[in-house]
Chains A and B, each alone.
Chain A
Amino acid sequence: VLPQLYPDPQVVAQLLDDFERADIPWPHKLAWRFGKRFVQSSWEAGAAQIQELRDAGICDAEILRWAEGACVQTWWVMSADGGGVALDGFTPSQGRVVGLEREAYEAETLRTGAAPGVAAAARRASVGGDVAWVEMDLERSEYRQAAAWAEARYGFVPNFFKAFSLRPPLYPRHQRALELLEAPISGSLTPRQHALVRGLVSGLNRSAYGAVTSRALLERVAPGEPLWDRVSGDYTLHEWSPAERAVLDFAAKMALTSYKVTDKDPARLRELGLNDAAYVEVINVVSIQSSIERAANILGVAPDAGPLLAREA
């Protein structure tokens, strides 16, 4: 798409090198900033950033579309990196040029900006609503339908549903994502390993929103064990079984630097008795959960009253 938008290759190069100085329209620049914050430091977002977009003439429904796009893109990016898929239509030599030589990244300084092992922070005190920093319309029929689904499943309506009331097409996807996240579905990853991954990811995303569910899930699979404290801080300081440590290492790599994943990562899990389905499960849990938690961070979605775990489970 970029060469269609900017026929001058110098503009494209400048955009990738230093977008702030690139000669592009102001709304494009704001969208780029939004995406940058989403992927690198969503926990630093505040209501002021939402207001800045409004001041530039961007309505809340459009902001939610940006969030939705960044959300889905996060899932795609991590799936592509974790799966090691070939670049469609690229020759091997082109692939090397654009970054298929992943192991070279081990020596690079590219990072997503997050430091590992940081516990979920409290939601930033910021001017805005109690539920989220964006406008809501809770009278819409699509919202009411999604809210009824959530009420039946969790006993309450999650704030994330309310925050996205101006962008109802997101609901079916989000409902499916929550179902997929609730427990391992392949039978290859144990419930404990799955819960550990969820706790780790909430910590790395500094997600006060996600922490409510991740913490409850860990308490459910290991009552009385302080797993949340161990996994949401610096997990490398604690002892784990070899399989748990390998799963946590891979999940952290996925969440922070998925571009560094190589074929050694699934090989390491296989050595410890985990199969490819377990590997796929970790990829998806990390990517789906990160997409939701980063969206919640950037829109200022307040933590829910309880965990997003089906009542009958």
Chain B
Amino acid sequence: MAFVRMIDEAQATGLLAENYRLVAERYTHGLGFPMPTPELYKVSSIVPAYTHALSESQRLLTGDGQHYCESDAAVPRLFAGFCVAALSACFH
């Protein structure tokens, strides 16, 4: 399905495996239900430095998974990001 070879959780080792684990943990914590590592984070897995940077971005944006939508005040900032996705016609 994906356009490029991706390294999945079972094949990942070292920093890549650690990033997958942390990303999944943050989503699980933030969303309140078990969440595996989204495929999005695996696109760049054959060049792990990019996956690491994406994981770091997710950590910073969500405060280590503490806030996804923690209050009404957070809604507009979520909207700004959501709008980018919607108007890019990115349905992922």
Contact = CB atoms under 8 A, between A and B. Distances in A.
Interface in B47-92: 47, 49-50, 53-54, 56-58, 60-61, 63, 69, 75-92
A77 interface: yes
Given A77-B88, A80-B90, A110-B89, A85 B40 contact: yes
B44 A176 contact: no
- Listed residue (A62, A70, A85, A288) with the most chain B CB atoms within 10 angstroms of its CB: A85
A39 interface: yes
Contact of B84 (A74, A170, A176, A266): A74
Highest count of chain B CB atoms <10 Å: which of A82, A99, A176, A280: A280
A3 to B, nearest CB: 12
B10 interface: no
Nearest to B90: A77
Contact of B80 (A31, A77, A79, A173): A31
Interface stretch (A132-140, A147-155, A197-205, A257-265): A257-265
Given A28-B79, A35-B79, A77 B85 contact: yes
A190 interface: no
B6 interface: yes
Interface in A14-60: 16, 19, 27-28, 30-32, 34-36, 38-40, 58
- The B contact surface, by secondary structure, is helix
A65 interface: yes
B43 interface: yes
B90 A66 contact: no
Contacts of B2: 83-86
Contacts of A98: 91
14 contacts: A1-B82, A19-B83, A28-B76, A32-B80, A65-B77, A75-B57, A99-B89, A99-B91, A112-B87, A112-B88, A180-B49, A259-B88, A266-B4, A280-B44
Interface of A: 1-2, 4-5, 16, 19, 27-28, 30-32, 34-36, 38-40, 58, 62, 65-70, 72-88, 98-100, 105, 110, 112, 169-170, 172-173, 176-177, 180, 185-186, 258-259, 261-263, 265-266, 276-277, 279-281, 283-284, 288
